[in-house]
Amino acid sequence: MASDRDRIKQDLSELDAGFIRVLEDLIDALIANGSLRLTDLPAQALEKLNQRKRARQRLHDALDLIPDDDNIL
């Protein structure tokens, strides 16, 4: 049986994951509108951001069951 503390930790982990995605979207929006440049970020932050983008792309590619091939029709 999970304790209250374990449930709270689990809840925080889930919230953290969602919040990280919000921060990534915010960074992308700031870059897109010119308010932020990738070179403004510390090297370690940029590397972590790039690692997450690559991981999300691999996941997207793995879930893309129907290839985008305009020559099919």
pLDDT tens sequence across 20-34: 989 999 999 999 999
pLDDT at position 1 is 59
CA distances from 22 to 10, 19, 62, 66, 70 (A): 19, 5, 23, 28, 33
The span from the CA of 37 to the CA of 39, in Å, is 5
Radius of gyration of the chain (CA): 18
Is 51's pLDDT higher than 90? yes
The string of pLDDT tens digits covering residues 55-73 is: 988 888 887 766 666 555 5
Residue 12 in tokens: 């925080």
Nearest to 31 by CA among 21, 40, 19: 40
